[in-house]
Amino acid sequence: MSRVRIVTDSTTRFSTPSFIEHYLVTIAPTIVRCGPVRIQDGPQVDLAMMHRLLEDCQTNLTTEAPTQAQLAQIYAQLQSSADQILSIHTSAGLSDAVANAHAASQQFLGRLDIQVIDSQSASIGLGLLVQAAAEAASRGEEFDTLVHIVRGMIPRLYMIFFLSDLYYLVRYGLISRSQAILGNMLGIVSFLTMEEGRMIPMEKVRSRSRAIDKLIEFVCEFSDVEHLAILQANSRPSQESMSIKDRLRVYHPSTPITTVSYGPTISTIVGLDSLGVVVLEAERSTP
């Protein structure tokens, strides 16, 4: 049996809901705090069930990454069944999970080989990395091979969101409050993309329908795609996401397309009514 274990944090989402039941993956808790209320994020959490609570608590929402102590406890628990641990986490540009994992791993130097990887992604982008690592481990691949697989996928992951409530850009210092108020009055829809692990504002459009067109255009820039994911607020596919899926299928007929809820942690960045896509570009074959 493999002596490799995979650790990640609970903001991750998987392309197959039952994935976690079949692979040796340990999930460290990420908490979204709304005043005294604590919401533990996780692959099974339905953002729609918490919509009212999160909407009423916009100004007080905070997130808490897995702590150094929590991660050290997980590593200690896995020590009896693992010689090597691959700890893959939400982008360091969005979360303290990577820094806390590095700090926790120092306690096991000389006793346990722990490799910490900054996914430079989140949600199902992170999940695709975790899945690839866990599947390789189950095939009996060497630990160095798992690390190589994950690091090789990171530059091929792309994420883009659009959000219609510009208040969330104010929270992260991307625009001023006056700009957000004016933009919301005019119905402006703004785009965010993940670059080097950070959410960066892109262009703006004047309607949600145009924003959907821009999402499609973004995906169509890729000629060879290994996996596509549509990120939405609800766990059940919406009419919008089904329409996007149908349109994407025309351009990428054989590519797996997953629809997932991005969850409460990502909602603190993009809001409660956003749509996004994650593209895993196919690996280029060497001549």
- Contact (CB, 8 A) for 260 and 231: yes
> What is the pLDDT at residue 234?
82
- Contact (CB, 8 A) for 282 and 225: yes
Fold of 156-281: Hypothetical Protein Tm841; Chain: A;domain 3 (3.30.1180)
> What is the pLDDT at residue 273?
85
> What is the pLDDT at residue 118?
98
CA distances 281 to 127, 150, 265, Å, are 15, 13, 25
> What is the pLDDT at residue 6?
97
> What is the pLDDT at residue 179?
83
Report the C-alpha gap between 278 and 240 in whole angstroms. 16
Report the C-alpha gap between 237 and 248 in whole angstroms. 15
> What is the pLDDT at residue 2?
62
For 4-155, give the CATH class.
Answer: alpha beta
pLDDT digits 0-9 by tens, 60-75: 778 899 999 999 999 9
CA distances 38 to 41, 50, 264, Å, are 9, 11, 11
Give the residue ranges of the chain where pLDDT is below 70.
Answer: 1-2, 51-56, 58-59, 285-287
> What are the extents of the domains in the chain?
4-155, 156-281
